[in-house]
Chains A and B, each alone.
Chain A
Amino acid sequence: MSDTASQGSRHIRDIGSRLWIISIWTLLIFFIVNLFGIIGSVLMSSFATRWLRSWLPSGLTTNWYVSAWSEFQLSDILFTTFQVVGAVVLLSGLLGVPAAYAMARRDFIGKRAVMLLFLLPMLVPPITYGIPLATVLYQAGLGGSLIGVILANLVPTVPFVILVMIPFIEQIDPRIEAAARVFGAGTLRLFWTVLLPLLLPGVLAALLLVLVRTIAMFELTFLVSGPTSQTLVVALYYSVFAAGVRAVQSIDAMAVIYMAITLIWLIIALRFINPTQMVTRGKQARA
């Protein structure tokens, strides 16, 4: 008697767990379908001649890309974007990697306070510190300039490089450096022939992540940039904000160009890193 009863309840539990698994998958698939719908509708609209009150546009064209290119002065905006992103990647590497090396190799007084200073810009959202930062930059006469945009973007990227690089440097055995010293390598030689090759994979991954993040960094660039220092994502925001002034398809063509640039770099970055690394901030996030 009790045997059949327990078998019965076990059967019900099996059905229950199967339903549970199915509902989780349904949830995830529903999310992904909608995500592709969002991206797909931008793509479809950018090629549409006319798309009103129907499932699909009435015809396809590539003219919107030509008109978006001239309407939004995309060549200027793209040039600005590459300048900003290039400078931010270079500078955050130059500032971040040595700092990470010092943090990984030395235990000095006040290290915890320094670590906190590096963690805070990653925890406080950009819009919160962006408004005082923009105020200071405008007071210093850098508001609206390219240099101001680059400086503002360094605030989250330098700590990001540091936090990604610290665990990476920690796992390089310091005895390798000691051995090079024993064999008479000077600091410069040690750096070029021992440290740089060992650090390169980590630096590459960190800087690719900085690159993708800076292309997509809206808030800080938006708060600091002026008419001549807009990056692509800020220009996209202004055109969506002023929807109705331009044709939707033209805005979508710009959105697709932005999407293509971001995705190309994302694909390159994903060859070196795991997608979860896009959100976890080095080992600190696991504390």
Chain B
Amino acid sequence: MSSAPIPFRTRAAAHGFDGVTLLVIPALLLLAALFLYPFGYGLVLSLRPKDGTWLGNYFHFFSDPFLYQTIATTLALALPVTAINLLAAVPVAFRVRRMQHQRLITTILVLPITLGTVLVAEGMLNYFGPQGWFIRTLSLFGLGSPSSVKLVHNYWGVFLSLVITGFPFTFLLTLSYVSGIDVALENAAATLGARAAARFRTIFLPLLVPGLAITFCLSFVQAYSVFPSAVLLGAPAGPTRVISIAAYEAAFEQYDYSLASAIAMIMGAFQLIVVVIVLMSRSLFYRGPAAGAKG
């Protein structure tokens, strides 16, 4: 005696597939078509260079100093900026965490993120320019003059713009991690006589490391893909010729989409490598709940 076959609908529902699950399909199709497919297409395209060889683009990239040096240029900008932003964000987040007017500070700091790099770049050209308010103030205090201090159209222009848009981003992310840590843990340590520095080292730091690792990755990836400010505030032909400029030029100035795709793939690969290194080293530290044992 065989039982009646289980209807398909019931079997599918048991695996979590029913009418509601289908709602995910439109969004899934869109991203498959506009994110996955372009990536795959770009990868295939990058392997079909003009000279007909298989890895021609990649050999070309790593043999032409004008191209492969962009990696070092980009890293020389992105790594120090990310490190400085993170190092500054942690103590500031700890101060702001207990502040009364926390929302005022966070609102002010969200401004540069919202306005975006293009507007910040235009403002910086005025403000940090040779006749701008910043250098005027410096020379007022005898700290420099328009001829001795140059803050735009060089490395420092891009560096500063990455601090101005990157620090708020890093700070707000750090703040959300810091406020996620149960105050009871700190209070317990303080009751037991641990001073601020010891509390930070033994309580907060171990709990924060996973969050800080993710913050570092997200901030780094943003800084690594710097484009508008590297053109507008830097010296895009020389010291701040970052990798995104090389990719853009290949695509839209030389119309070599194959080479451009190869550069985009290399850019993605380098971001991935740094992110993987950071996230792997994260696992060397404590991972666990950041809340107290009792609710």
Contact = CB atoms under 8 A, between A and B. Distances in A.
B21 to A, nearest CB: 5
Contacts of A263: 111, 114-115
Given A34-B127, A35-B112, A95-B27, A135 B16 contact: no
Given A95-B30, A158-B27, A240-B121, A125 B92 contact: no
B150 to A, nearest CB: 17
Contacts of A233: 116, 118-119
Given A38-B127, A124-B268, A128-B271, A259 B119 contact: yes
Interface stretch (A81-89, A115-123, A178-186): A115-123
Contacts of B117: 218
Contacts of A212: 114
A245 interface: no
Given A38-B120, A218-B118, A286 B176 contact: yes
B119 A108 contact: no
A285 interface: yes
Contacts of B248: 127, 131, 223
A21 B95 contact: yes
A274 B9 CA distance: 42
B289 interface: no
A122 to B, nearest CB: 9
A109 B195 CA distance: 49
Interface in A93-135: 94-96, 98-99, 101-103, 105-109, 111, 114, 117-118, 120-121, 123-129, 131-135
A285 B112 contact: no
B78 to A, nearest CB: 11
A201 interface: no
Contacts, number: 263
Contacts of B214: 285, 287
Interface stretch (A39-47, A61-69, A70-78): A39-47
Given A233-B116, A255-B122, A280 B34 contact: no
A218 B35 CA distance: 18
B293 interface: no
A55 interface: yes
B132 interface: yes
A10 B184 CA distance: 25
Contact of B127 (A41, A223, A262, A266): A41
Contact of B34 (A32, A41, A96, A152): A152
A151 B134 CA distance: 41
A124 B176 contact: no
Contacts of A285: 173, 176, 214, 218
Given A131-B248, A154-B34, A270 B107 contact: yes
Contact of B24 (A32, A102, A121, A279): A102
A133 B26 contact: no
Contacts of B167: 31
Interface string B183-211: 00000000000011000000000000001
Contacts of B127: 34, 37-38, 41
A279 B169 contact: yes
A37 to B, nearest CB: 5
Interface stretch (B54-62, B63-71, B227-235): B227-235
B108 A101 contact: no
B162 interface: no
A24 interface: yes
A199 interface: no
Interface of A: 13, 17, 20-21, 24-25, 27-28, 31-32, 34-35, 37-39, 41-42, 45, 52-53, 55, 94-96, 98-99, 101-103, 105-109, 111, 114, 117-118, 120-121, 123-129, 131-136, 151-152, 154-155, 158-159, 162, 212, 216-219, 222-223, 233, 236-237, 240-241, 243, 248, 251-252, 255, 258-259, 262-263, 266, 270, 274-276, 278-280, 285-287
5 contacts: A28-B95, A37-B134, A124-B221, A133-B34, A240-B232
